Chain A
């Protein structure tokens, strides 16, 4: 009994550590692939790990109060909790019936944590970034919720473990082929959640100098970089679980998540940044219409395919 608990704690800690490192490596892949697209050599894959070590080793003169410190902790905590909900490689750490909908909300916690801390910093750029970020989240909520409903109606369950079980057998059982509309919508919403181009409006580096992150440096920024990398991995894994047939063994985990991440990186390098009202009207037009189509398809045709 006691042995089981110890093994479970060790597995949890090991999984979190692995995913944190993997998140930083994913950011390294993003920087390397972007550099190759620009025809540059680019930094090594472990560059974000060095960045995080350097940021931890800085001497921080001050912070802007308790809320400012808590913002980055909430970001990392939300990302870690979201990571523990995922059934990865047969490991079910926090799985329960209905974890898909909890995961959907936890994936927004990092952005909200950063905004909470940024609002406490009192910098005008942070204020502009927070207001843009909240508008973007409002725009993304509607199609995201509709797409999640479509997935739930398609599989008639909200448990990630059961969704994986229902996709086994043929490759045509994958969520990508059973409900392509929902798959497309969640891919688009993922770009908005991960704060990458064309949806990097909240942290537009060239206009409002990193937006909410402008006052964060040193250890706070190290926590945020780690949280952002982890969010990247959590989204890629969630997408592979729901639409690409699950990640039951290490090889499929690596191949599928890297595939999803590469798609995001290519889109990020091709499209320029939108203005906030362009992004908002786009999100409430095309992804919403597609998500409604997906919902209609799931309800009319059911799980049969």
Chain B
């Protein structure tokens, strides 16, 4: 994975900050707070934020709830399919320290060992106001060029990969591709 140079200027950063597209992918129970954030009461489209079903077009991945190792594999695959620059918001107390699943054998306790997170939202459940506040904070970070999670992932890829391999076992990427082989027609 080579290092890529990102052009930055005031206009480009402003455009990036004002048009964050969320990939429609929810884990756990936090997804129920997103429809109120998107519809008439709170309306995140006034900041230029829309949700897009295609991973290739999205900039922002919301992790909305507890993460099991099985879900984490999908999250990592989705995150790696998104195009740089890309951002992650971890939503709720479960991604921070597993929340009420603190003693569960099957919940990831520290999410940022596996993928880089830009903004955390505390609370169970965070209300739409909290989500909007996190989105506005991320917009400010993007505008100032400080949301560099995607760069951390590229620079420290060996670290993240070692942690992922320890959790899932070696060659987990190959096994995941084998599962999807049926759907790929080249």
Contact = CB atoms under 8 A, between A and B. Distances in A.
B84 interface: yes
Interface string A188-214: 000000000000000001100110011
Contacts of A53: 11-12, 15
Contact of B83 (A47, A50, A61): A61
Interface in B85-101: 85
Interface string B35-57: 00001100101111000111011
Interface string B74-113: 0000000001110000000000000000000000000000
A213 B54 CA distance: 8
Contacts of B53: 205-206, 209-210, 214
Contacts of B158: none
Size band of the interface chain A makes with B: 20 to 34
Interface residues of B, number: 32
Contact of B4 (A41, A59, A127, A209): A59
Contact of A39 (B40, B184, B186): B40
A42 B48 contact: no
B11 A59 contact: no
Contacts, number: 93
Nearest to A57: B12
Contact of A217 (B5, B14, B15, B54): B54
Interface string B121-144: 000000000000000000000000
B6 interface: yes
Q: Among B4, B12, B39, B54, which residue has the most Cβ atoms of chain A within 10 A?
A: B54
Interface in B1-36: 4-7, 11-12, 14-16, 18-19
A214 B54 contact: yes
Contacts of B14: 50
Nearest to B15: A53
A198 B101 CA distance: 45
A35 B43 contact: yes
A124 B185 contact: yes
B88 to A, nearest CB: 16
Interface of A: 31, 35, 38-44, 47, 50-51, 53-54, 57-61, 122, 124, 127, 205-206, 209-210, 213-218, 221
Given A124-B183, A214-B54, 8 more contacts: A43-B47, A58-B84, A59-B83, A205-B52, A205-B53, A215-B56, A217-B58, A221-B56
